[in-house]
């Protein structure tokens, strides 16, 4: 039985608090960029569960709410992407949350636009926010919600690509894409990672 299966086997009334994190960069200039889709997912989840992210705690903006009977902390680190681990680790320690109850939503250039993939751990695949969290936590054993933004065209660098807004032809599909990401995080809390992966990951 692995870490996530042990967590699922416990009744939800008895589980500890969950930390649901969306990665992005603070500031109006980054608000609607590909790199900030993690922020967008967390904002949408906050709307779905009526949890406002208005409290500043440490290096993050957070909201405290419930999904069913489970207490959840929704968080958007305000450290800029490559230092996200500072905010995440501080929240984990303050609320005494285990890695099994953490999920991080982030952009992923290795997935086509509109595709999501949930996974139990692994490396950062070059995503600097995830890399920072792994470094500060000292483990890669936490759930991820990878939000596909597609690869940059031609010779354009991925770093520049993710700091731009979505293409105009993609924008009509963004609300549903973001909503599916938020529902995937909610499913992680209510039903466990295995169920969420089966429900939201693309079928091979």
For residues 88 and 103, the answer to whether their CB atoms sit within 8 Å is no
∠ at Cα 15 (14, 17), nearest 5°?
130
User: Which position among 7, 19, 22, 35 bears the catalytic label?
Assistant: 35
Query: Chain-centre distance of CA 35, in angstroms?
Result: 12
Where would I find the beta strands (DSSP E) of the chain?
18-22, 55-57, 60-67, 70-77, 102-108, 116-119, 143-148
* Cα 90 to Cα 8: distance, rounded to the nearest angstrom: 24
Would you call 106 a catalytic residue per the annotation? Answer: no
Question: How many CB atoms lie under 10 A from the CB of residue 17?
Answer: 16
Eight-state DSSP code of residue 165: B
Encoded tokens for 68: 């069913």
* Cα 94 to Cα 203: distance, rounded to the nearest angstrom: 38
Closest by Cα among 115, 94, 117 to 104:
117
Angle between helices 174-191 and 37-48 (to 10 degrees): 60
* Enzyme catalytic residues: 35
């Amino acid at each position: 039985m692995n870490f996530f299966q042990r967590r699922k086997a416990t009744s939800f009334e008895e589980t500890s608090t969950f930390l649901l994190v969306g990665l992005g960069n603070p500031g109006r200039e980054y608000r609607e960029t590909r790199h900030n889709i993690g922020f967008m997912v967390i904002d949408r989840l906050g709307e779905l569960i009526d949890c406002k992210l208005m409290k500043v705690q440490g290096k993050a903006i957070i909201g405290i709410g419930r999904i069913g009977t489970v207490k959840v902390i929704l968080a958007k680190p305000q450290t800029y992407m490559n230092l996200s681990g500072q905010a995440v680790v501080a929240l984990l320690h303050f609320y005494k949350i285990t890695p099994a109850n953490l999920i991080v939503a982030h952009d992923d250039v290795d997935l086509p636009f509109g595709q999501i993939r949930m996974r139990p751990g692994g490396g950062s695949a070059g995503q600097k926010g995830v890399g920072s969290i792994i470094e500060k936590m000292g483990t890669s054993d936490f759930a991820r919600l990878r939000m596909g933004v597609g690869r940059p065209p031609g010779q354009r660098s991925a770093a520049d690509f993710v700091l731009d807004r979505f293409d105009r032809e993609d924008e009509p599909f963004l609300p549903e894409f973001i909503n599916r990401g938020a529902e995937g995080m909610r499913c992680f809390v209510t039903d466990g990672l295995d169920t969420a992966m089966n429900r939201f990951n693309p079928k091979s």
